[in-house]
Amino acid sequence: MTEPRIAIAIVNWRNAADTIACLESLQHLVDQDVAVIVSDNGSGDGSVEKLVAWADGTLAASGRSYRLWQDGEQPAAPPCDYLNIIAGQRNLGFAGGNNLCIRLALADPGIEGVWLLNNDTEVLPDSLSALRARMAEDPQMGICGSTLVYHHDKATVQAVAGRYDIARGAGGEIGQGATLATLPSRAEVEAQMSYPPGASMLASRRFIDAVGLMEESYFLYFEELDWTLRGKPEFTVGWAPGSVVFHKEGGSIGTYGRGRPSDLSLYYNLVNRLRVARRYQPGAVPTNMARLIAIAAKYGLKGDMRGVRTVLHALGDFLGGRYRTGAWLSASRTPTPSKGHR
């Protein structure tokens, strides 16, 4: 295997079929200097066994090697296999699962960057090379995102970047609904983007060494925005239009379609709006709380009392300083959010 310069981090949670489809697409990358790391977030559904079976069959037939790592196992030397599967024992969330991959990746001093890729994505052969080319243009760039296209509708763009206004507690996806032929200009997007799409983003080693790992206390959502904000003003964020990644959208957390998100998705989206405001713009917390109350009222008018309870649960947890893992009805945990970002 060519000496790896880029590690690809993928988090699996009870969705081995999509993860394997993602791994299959990675076999066709034009970039050969990669190592792939899959972290299973304590699925407990046979996901690890399915991933190992795929590696024993399809991957082995291609002449590439793999290794299964147990939770907490530390490498005595830089990982040397093409595929590394980490068998996690519990659900660490988006950031926690990715951080396991990043730690293992950076044990190899030759790794220059980590490509964080959702397990419900499939890539084109040049998806990574386009990211690397864009980052090479700007030495100050710490993270670069891709063009996300709906997997079920490969003519329509899901997002090219995200924008978020902490003061208003509102944001949106730049480029949503466009086609690959009608994308906005790179300059236009980068001038207004707040963060790259978390489903596909390349972070440089220099950025990770300076800023630190992703913030795990969010568990789900807003990790990309937090990471980007922590990197400013030393690092910029960018977009590689030619890095096209097909996204199945929400395969593990129930955010398919345009209807109301699942309770899990709704809870973390709302509670983390408040946490981001408190961390980066405390004066905006009252406005953000009022927005949550308005959302609860909207669900109430629709007769969606479960939605109302979910919103109020998020508000109560924020005010009480409670942090959760997993489904919003699960028992609270009370860790101290990480402080050592650098």
Tell me the pLDDT tens digit for each residue of 2-56. 788 999 999 999 999 999 999 999 999 999 999 999 999 999 999 999 999 999 9
- 3-class DSSP assignment, residue 213: coil
Residue spans in the chain of domains classed CATH 3.90.550.10:
6-145+184-243
85 and 55 Cβ atoms separated by less than 8 Å: yes
Q: What is the pLDDT of residues 222-281, one digit of tens each?
A: 999 999 999 999 999 999 999 999 999 765 555 444 568 889 999 999 999 999 999 999
Query: pTM of the entire structure?
Result: 0.92
Class of domain 6-145+184-243: alpha beta
Supply 324's token pair. 């959760």
Kindly tell me if the per-residue pLDDT of 342 is higher than 60: no
For the cut 70, the answer to whether the pLDDT of residue 97 exceeds it is: yes
Q: Tokens 């998100």 correspond to what residue?
A: 261
**Site of tokens 């000496």:** 3
- Contact (CB, 8 A) for 190 and 240: no
Q: In 3-state terms, what secondary structure has residue 117? A: strand
Among the listed residues 56, 108, 99, the one whose alpha carbon sits nearest the alpha carbon of residue 80: 108
Indicate if the pLDDT at residue 332 is higher than 60: no
For residues 172 and 143, what is the distance between their CA atoms, to the nearest angstrom?
19
284 SS3 class: helix
Q: How far apart are CA 122 and CA 20, in angstroms?
A: 10
